Structure 1
């Protein structure tokens, strides 16, 4: 006699699993008092779960609408992820039960359905786009994430359009205050003064460029691989009357030919360039600086080398940041130092990023209907998972956010720097 889907779930997760699953075959798992109720609506959903057991299969079924969750705030599923993340321990059934489960499912259930449209295929299937971190493939990866829709990003990010970790000056500070404080902190660490020249690589919609030009009197160039971001940022600069001192280029940072910049900001770009490319990346930025110039590198990091670097195969790699790579801050510091930078300061802002992601998730939840209308429900569901899961990761110290300040030392060790710098007001 074949097992029902509900009975199979009991065999794998136990009858006291922290969720109740109701399946399309009319069966349910056993824990009727569970705080979470899942609805598996289709055979396709079951095939996603069986052919990719774990995170990826669940995401595929959920994104495609084959798996629903009672009472879920799709824009901000933080509480659900926090509740289930450690509780979904798979029990290995006895061999006789494994045979019974396999027979009940049948071979068809192990054939993966077509991948969701939003999912990137594994890296080896993307070689037509170029080798990992080639210019062509980097452009495709950035476009996948950042060219969703400027209107969608406005709903999630808010008026600042700043899509990197904010820095909260107070516990009760708003997201907008925290983003402005972050840009100001970067400007102070870089020692910006009127008339200086700033290069902002991976500039997004131009928030850092605008802040530095408006508040510190510099001239600035920002570069981004996203055409949507570049167009938006350049229009913003024109509206603010800054076009004579600022520009946003749709360009790879490797195509910047100017040099002798007084400062370079790299806010949220290092995650995209690949750990093996760190030496070349920091060498390139070192060459672009004048003697005594400073680089502020702001990026997500791993707590240790034990976590690995390349995010292969999981949800973030397939749905959010294709080809993304993270390394511990020590790896970044070593790479910078090896290319001639004197490391002046480093700081971990992971708690700030947990707050930032929570704020973005709340924006998405508040504006969820508009976000669905703009980008589709599948995209909105992906972003809900991504923001909530990222916030939890920072809160649990599974990922971190470091700012590292380096300086290009001139001949004889010349590098103007305060004896005891104060970066706060």
Structure 2
């Protein structure tokens, strides 16, 4: 393997783009790098690489170091990922994760700044996909009002039902699957996830289920096919429309209903079970107490809650990161499973079981990335290349995050106790894993 690693320059010299990269990394860089100024570094025979096409791309990287600057340059077309398909850049991101960055000394930082010049140190306008709409240019404390939550859901989920059909596959399920075997397909794993939730909630024909944040109605229809009466609620108009058509098509209208509404507008009570699959990430950590109080008020005594959501491996951080917040999940917040369990128990529900499906989500994301790659032309035609690039980068990066325990996926099962602490449940788990 031939390494073209630039030497550290003397002070006073002007650095090329490749030399700047060399000064802010340590050890071997497992990628080849080239730039518009003709400079290059890294192994010549590396399988993957980065090509910085324009000075604007350099400006994005310099003025927003980290994932946000790279995302801006890539989405705008100023940074090219070499050796991977834009629908599934996971292999390159995995290699990039092995690069060790270092903070340059003050003297070296000054040399870098002088080499870039004043023009490249002025932040260029971000790509249109990042431009903040009016509803996001408000005080941080005003997050998670009803109006803003509806706008955030619209931003993420009302992209295009056709686009989601290409990426998610026939199940139209945008949450972690549960793989029963190593060889299971994505569709088999999504069906198994609904089976797992259904069984954990001990649902049976004639029961009543409330599915909060029901998406395209996958859980709603799974339960209704088995004789359960279900109400689903979603803030996405596109999701609600698609789900209603699917319910009608399957002849389930007498059992299943999907409402385009805030979950807080559901007035019915006495449900045998509540499922919350992939919603907790959107409501804000400070709203956990009111959220789980709402769920408690909807359950009958002995009723069960299944909360399924992305979490952090610790209970300290809540940010999703600049790239995901600005391009993918506006206002999303993640915390640890301990915080969620505490919030559930603090409203009086009793947690009976929890499990981490982290590796399952990595496999799920790999399947979605493959779908985006395989349907790339159709997806680009539907939403545009820049948005398709956002999704490829987001899903591949998320796959890496689940693999490396940056994020997790926890299912928490809780019960609303009856008189004198009665749960009315079997002594041991009653479902197949």
Same fold (TM over 0.5): yes
Deviating beyond 6 angstroms after TM superposition, the runs of 4 or more aligned structure 1 residues are none
Deviations 1:173-232 (A, max 9, x none): 1111111111011111111111111100000000000000102x1110100011100000
> Does 2:332 align with 1:332?
no
SS at match of 1:406: strand
Alpha carbons 2:178, 2:189 under 8 Å: kept: yes
Q: Which of 73, 90, 94 pairs up with 1:61?
A: 73
1:225 alignment counterpart: 235
Q: How big is the shift at 1:33?
A: 4.4
Judged with a 3 Å threshold, the aligned counterparts in structure 2 of structure 1 residues 14 and 348 are, in CA distance, closer, same or farther, namely closer
SS at match of 1:118: helix
Could you state the TM-score of these two structures normalised by the residue count of structure 1?
0.94
Deviations 1:366-396 (A, max 9, x none): 1111111111111111111111111111111
Aligned partners of 2:29 and 2:359: how far apart in 1?
A: 31
Alpha carbons 1:14, 1:91 under 8 Å: kept: no
Alignment root-mean-square deviation, CA? 2.0
1:83 alignment counterpart: 95
Alpha carbons 1:40, 1:66 under 8 Å: kept: yes
Aligned partners of 2:139 and 2:255: how far apart in 1?
A: 39
Q: Which of 229, 236, 245 pairs up with 1:235?
A: 245
Alpha carbons 2:48, 2:84 under 8 Å: kept: no
Q: How big is the shift at 1:16?
A: 4.4
Judged with a 3 Å threshold, the aligned counterparts in structure 2 of structure 1 residues 84 and 32 are, in CA distance, closer, same or farther, namely same
Gaps of 5+ in 1: none
Q: Map of 1:12-411 to 2, 5 A cutoff?
A: 12-13=24-25, 16-29=28-41, 31-92=43-104, 94-119=105-130, 121=132, 126-127=137-138, 131-215=142-226, 217-306=227-316, 308-312=317-321, 314-411=322-419
Gaps of 5+ in 2: 1-12
Q: Which of 421, 424, 429 pairs up with 1:416?
A: 424
Aligned partners of 1:375 and 1:128: how far apart in 2?
A: 30
**Aligned pairs, number:** 421
Aligned partners of 1:107 and 1:398: how far apart in 2?
A: 36
Q: How big is the shift at 1:342?
A: 1.1
SS at match of 1:305: coil
SS at match of 1:127: coil
Aligned partners of 2:356 and 2:140: how far apart in 1?
A: 35
Aligned partners of 2:116 and 2:65: how far apart in 1?
A: 14
Q: How big is the shift at 1:91?
A: 4.8
Aligned partners of 2:49 and 2:342: how far apart in 1?
A: 48
**94-103 or 362-371: bigger deviation:** 94-103
